[in-house]
Chain A
Amino acid sequence: MNINKIIPPKIAQKIMNGLFIASGLLTILILILVLGYVLVKGLPVVNLEFLLADPIDSGRAGGIFPMIISSIYVTAIAGIIATPLGIGAAIYIVEYANANRAVRLIRFGAEILASIPSIVYGLFGLAFFVVFLQFNWSVLSGGLILAIMALPTIFQVSEVTLSSIPSSYREGSYGLGASKWQTIYRVVVPAAIPGIVTGIILGMTRAISEAAAVMFSVGSALQTPISIFDPGRPLPLHLYTLATEGISLDNAYGTAAVLVIIVLVITIGTNLIVDRYQRKMTGG
């Protein structure tokens, strides 16, 4: 209000427009700086040998093949477990639940799960999966922790999408004599697929990026895990170890570049697929 009296509105408008544009540019600049630096320094290290070879001398030389496999293992385990749980919970909340208090409790539960710091998950995984359930240091223990972390993301995005499906879809299906589950399975969920897929991918991106939550449960082994009970070392954890223990800067750059490219490909790929599906569904 006071500013209004000192600065004429039109000039205030111009100043603010400048600030808005500057903030947008700064955000883009930060992204370019971080991505650009990692890719410029890392990509020269990345070649087929780097991707397919075992690390030599705890990562001073050689490649990152076991880490890629470990990452795939933990992320796949997380996805396989969290996807049905997240979607199921979202379907229950949107289509079945009518007790307001229960809905709020379940939503709040998801918010808590989404906000628990990853290092607390790490401690919990150590105490529960590794020691109590005796899964030991294994990609299974790591994957299970990541499943719990990815669950709220999948749930929240699916819930928003499912509740945005118009009720006329459901009424039409009931009108044709379909049961509740048939309506959900044949009509509501297919219409919500783009949103649900986005949710799953977001959950998976969270899982594949995570190091702190798994650092005390996957075992940090340098060998390629064969069974789910073998220890492993996912890419982010490898990067952390290489960088903080000063093992090899070059290989750290390479690992960071690979990690960034995986995340970029997943994000961009999903956006394209979801876009296409949506256009197909809306006939546009």
Chain B
Amino acid sequence: MQKNNFTEFLIEKGLFLTAIFSIIMILIIILFILIEGFPAIQEYGFLNFIFGMNWAPSEGEFGVFPMIIGSICVTLLSLLMAVPLSLLCAIFMAEVAPNNVKKFLKPTIETLSGIPSVVYGFFGLIVLVPIMRETFGGTGFSMFTASLILTVMVLPTIISISQDALKAVPNEYREASLGLGATSWQTIKNIIFPAALPGIITAIILGMGRAIGETLAVIMVAGNVALVPNSIFSPLRTLTSNIALEIGYATGIHHNALFGTAIVLFLIIIILLLVANYMQHKYKIDAGSGYL
């Protein structure tokens, strides 16, 4: 019996170690990114680094502001297209579609999310870029092209999470509304959607995180010019692309500046996650079980 208890004790401690492994790993990741990135931020100055308009490593200029704007623009434009489409699709799947249609849509969404991002980028490079070049002129490599690719890539994220949120709305809500004579669209619009809103916002924020974090698919279609874009048909460079394009040959402070770029990215992601978590916890009670 004594021995049994000891085994149980060991197992519990072992499992505890696996549970805190993620936390330890995050700390190591942060430590290494900071150690490598800090020298650049220190030498170039934090404000110069964040708000500097000029990225010219050969001249010792390391301003990442154009890339911050690039990441934000491409992400917002893709959300502008992805959010309406994915919300309609999520509502369709959770509330409207008959079962046999659902059986078709669910694997579609799963497959879309499983396609490697490089394949999307390749498709964009071979199919979309030439179409854009012929339709809108220019090189075809642009914010708009990158946003289209990102739209397709964030669709599954937003659809599946907001669908879960919609499904979690208690059935009584639906029945009560329908019982009062509301149409199914009125029920969705006035009852279900508001109740599921916190979960839906979480879904959008997570989709946003995916769009900001995407690298190679964007590199392949965005043109990668390190300037603030002046229209949606301008080429642009994102924070992630900046790292991937230059780390292969960067040395010295340039190398550090790319890790500095990663620090900026990391901060953006943490802020997004905190907002998503805050939304979930704040509205947990108000929405009944209508959160994630």
Contact = CB atoms under 8 A, between A and B. Distances in A.
- Do A and B bind? yes
A211 B118 contact: yes
Contact of B19 (A35, A38, A106): A106
Interface stretch (B48-56, B214-222, B227-235): B214-222
B84 to A, nearest CB: 8
Contacts of B12: 92, 96
Interface string B246-288: 0110000000001100100110011011000100000000000
Nearest to A16: B185
B4 A123 contact: no
A119 B32 contact: no
Contact of A34 (B85, B109, B119, B270): B119
B92 A23 contact: yes
B32 A128 contact: yes
Contacts of B7: 181
Chain B CB within 10 Å, residue with most, of A9, A27, A86:
A27
Interface stretch (B21-29, B38-46, B57-65, B169-177): B21-29
B114 A31 contact: no
A113 B26 contact: yes
A209 B259 contact: no
B14 interface: yes
Nearest to B259: A123
A209 B116 contact: yes
Nearest to A28: B108
Contact of B216 (A16, A208, A212, A249): A212
B3 to A, nearest CB: 12
Given A89-B22, A108-B277, A127-B36, A267 B114 contact: yes
A155 interface: yes
Nearest to B20: A106
Contacts of B14: 88
B178 interface: no
B16 interface: yes
Interface stretch (A57-65, A163-171, A225-233, A237-245): A237-245
Interface in B84-99: 85, 88-89, 91-93, 96-97
A34 B123 contact: yes
Given A117-B212, A132-B32, A212-B216, A112 B270 contact: yes
B144 interface: no
Contacts of A93: 19
A27 B243 CA distance: 32
A106 B152 contact: no
Nearest to B15: A92
Nearest to A242: B122
Contacts, number: 250
Contacts of A281: none
Contacts of B17: 88
Nearest to B28: A128
Nearest to B85: A23
A123 B92 contact: no
A48 interface: no
B249 to A, nearest CB: 11
B290 interface: no
Of B29, B188, B212, B240, most A-chain CB atoms within 10 Å: B29
B206 interface: yes
Contacts of A6: none
B121 interface: yes
B149 to A, nearest CB: 10
A190 interface: no
Interface of B: 4, 7-8, 11-12, 14-23, 25-26, 28-29, 32-33, 35-36, 85, 88-89, 91-93, 96-97, 101, 104-105, 107-112, 114-123, 125-127, 152, 155, 159, 182-186, 188, 206, 209, 212-216, 219-220, 240, 243-244, 247-248, 258-259, 262, 265-266, 269-270, 272-273, 277
Given A27-B112, A120-B33, A211-B216, 7 more contacts: A17-B96, A23-B92, A108-B273, A113-B26, A215-B244, A243-B122, A263-B111
Interface of A: 4, 9-10, 12-13, 16-17, 19-24, 26-28, 30-31, 34-35, 37-38, 84-89, 91-93, 96-97, 105-106, 108-113, 115-124, 126-128, 132, 148, 151-152, 155, 179-181, 205, 208-212, 215-216, 236-237, 239-240, 243-244, 249, 252, 256, 259-260, 263-264, 266-268, 271
- Give me the 3 closest cross-chain CB pairs, A-B, nearest first: A117-B213, A88-B18, A209-B116
